[in-house]
């Protein structure tokens, strides 16, 4: 009897392994077939980028593709979001896959035949528009995954929700948008999502590799705005006024003291960066007001609260000590991206099978932020980093994200399509 039970267990394991090999082989076959289309889709989206909450043509492009696949399609979610739903008609979990669609106010410098020449308006300024963070690749890979999974519908159990999200980079001032708004408008509720997967292509990770981090993987991002008010006067007689420019300079220097001397960086990383200082209209007029705008990145909620308090105290005291006043506003933009540890562990075998165990790399948390965090606060989530750097290149020479020279190797997208599909099917089979 014992030998029989052992034999049955081995047979069950062998059948399960065989079934898993069968679906990964089929995913690989179909993903390779769709790869030329994925590259074509990515190039089209790259050439015609759109800013956050303005992804009208991108949304139409995606919706048309989903309609052609005969999926249930919903549009206009969180302004321009698109959702495709694949219902298999068989009981099983609801798996969501997410890609972001928006581009950045960056003028492209990369010499490509499909480089962006688009212009738009951002914060009242005319700017170039570029997919300088890889969202074009994310959209194309999810379009590819939708096609592969639709072709494999008879092997699936449950439902797949394809989420094409606007405004990951943040809605324009005065507007709502992004993942938070998608969640508020019920994207995870109809049907009720059990688990969500996402990935982000990375220009400094070699093609063919996947990086992951259980638990807190990406930082919370908060925007701050400081308005320093002094007393306007002639530049030749600064003692007759109160110079807010000098006060602003002292505040910016003080940020480095907060991070370097008041924050326990052995716990988690933290960053305060200033992205804009604005004030004055003429070289010989000391202005009345200066604005300082920047970002705070933290990976721990207690550190986040402490740093907010440190900034408030420092800004107030520096301004008062120089006879000025300062108003601080902090806007919580994105929480920490939290990869569910149990889900992460359960999905490791399929990631090893798809990419090769040696190519699935545990990484440290990063101070970049991602509003995928809003989905992962509602349901178990796993967010991965996908290699987009040409093999053999020195990562130190790879142009960073959000820069005019940002570049990805399109060869990395095949693994992205396979990963999205394999995570979906594997989760369905296990649940």
Query: What is the distance between the alpha carbons of residues 103 and 101, in angstroms, rounded to a whole number?
Result: 7
Q: Is the CA virtual torsion 385, 343, 366, 370 positive or negative?
A: positive
Query: What is the distance between the alpha carbons of residues 126 and 124, in angstroms, rounded to a whole number?
Result: 7
Q: Residue 392 corresponds to which tokens in the numbers above?
A: 């053999």
Query: What is the distance between the alpha carbons of residues 278 and 248, in angstroms, rounded to a whole number?
Result: 10
**Do the bridges between strand 337-339 and strand 289-298 make them parallel or antiparallel, or are there none, so unpaired?**
unpaired
The answer to whether the CB of 212 falls within 8 A of the CB of 361 is yes
Query: What is the distance between the alpha carbons of residues 293 and 311, in angstroms, rounded to a whole number?
Result: 13
Query: What is the distance between the alpha carbons of residues 145 and 130, in angstroms, rounded to a whole number?
Result: 24
Q: Is 168 a catalytic residue?
A: yes
The active-site residue out of 50, 168, 194, 310 is: 168
Q: Is 345 a catalytic residue?
A: no
Radius of gyration of the chain (CA): 24
Query: What is the distance between the alpha carbons of residues 9 and 32, in angstroms, rounded to a whole number?
Result: 34
The active-site residue out of 55, 100, 102, 370 is: 102
At residue 392, what are phi and psi to the nearest 5 degrees?
A: 95, -15
At residue 230, what are phi and psi to the nearest 5 degrees?
A: -120, -145
The answer to whether the CB of 246 falls within 8 A of the CB of 396 is no
Burial track 20-37 (b if 16+ CB lie within 10 A, e otherwise): beebbebbbebbeebbee
Active site residues: 102, 168
């Amino acid at each position: 009897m014992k030998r029989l039970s052992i034999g049955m267990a081995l047979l069950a394991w062998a059948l399960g392994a065989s079934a898993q090999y069968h679906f990964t082989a089929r995913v690989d076959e179909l993903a390779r077939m769709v790869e030329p289309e994925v590259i074509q889709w990515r190039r089209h989206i790259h050439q015609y980028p759109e800013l956050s909450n303005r992804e009208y043509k991108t949304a139409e492009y995606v919706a048309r593709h989903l309609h052609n696949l005969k999926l249930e399609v919903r549009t206009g979610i969180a302004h321009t979001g698109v959702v495709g739903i694949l219902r298999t008609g068989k009981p099983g979990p609801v798996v969501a896959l997410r890609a972001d669609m928006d581009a950045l106010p960056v003028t492209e410098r990369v010499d490509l035949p499909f480089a962006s020449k688009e212009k738009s308006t951002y914060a009242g300024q005319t700017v170039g528009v570029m997919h300088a963070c890889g969202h074009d690749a994310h959209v194309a890979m999810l379009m590819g995954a939708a096609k592969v999974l639709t072709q494999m519908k008879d092997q699936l159990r449950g439902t797949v929700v394809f989420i094409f999200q606007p405004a990951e980079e943040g809605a324009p001032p005065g507007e709502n948008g992004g993942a938070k708004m998608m969640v508020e408008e019920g994207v995870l509720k109809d049907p009720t999502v059990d688990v969500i997967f996402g990935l982000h292509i990375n220009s400094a990770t070699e093609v063919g590799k996947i990086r992951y981090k259980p638990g807190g993987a990406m930082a919370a991002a908060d925007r701050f705005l400081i308005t320093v008010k002094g007393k306007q006067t002639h530049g030749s007689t600064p003692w007759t006024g109160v110079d807010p420019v000098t006060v602003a300079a002292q505040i910016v220097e003080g940020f480095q003291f907060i991070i370097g001397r008041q924050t326990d960086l052995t716990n988690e990383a933290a960053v305060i960066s200033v992205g804009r200082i604005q004030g004055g209209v003429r070289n010989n007029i000391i202005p009345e007001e200066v604005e300082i705008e920047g970002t705070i990145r933290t990976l721990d909620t207690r550190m986040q609260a402490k740093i907010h308090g440190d900034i408030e105290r420092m800004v107030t005291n520096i301004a008062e000590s120089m006879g000025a006043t300062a108003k601080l506003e902090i806007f919580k933009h994105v929480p920490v991206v939290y990869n569910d540890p149990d889900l992460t562990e359960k999905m490791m075998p399929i990631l090893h099978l798809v990419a090769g165990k040696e190519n699935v790399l545990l990484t440290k948390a990063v101070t970049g932020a991602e509003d995928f965090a809003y989905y992962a606060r509602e349901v178990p989530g796993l967010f991965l980093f996908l290699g987009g750097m040409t093999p053999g290149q020195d990562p130190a020479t790879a142009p960073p994200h959000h820069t005019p020279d940002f570049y990805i190797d399109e060869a990395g997208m095949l693994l992205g399509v396979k990963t999205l599909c394999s995570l979906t099917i594997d989760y369905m089979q296990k649940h």
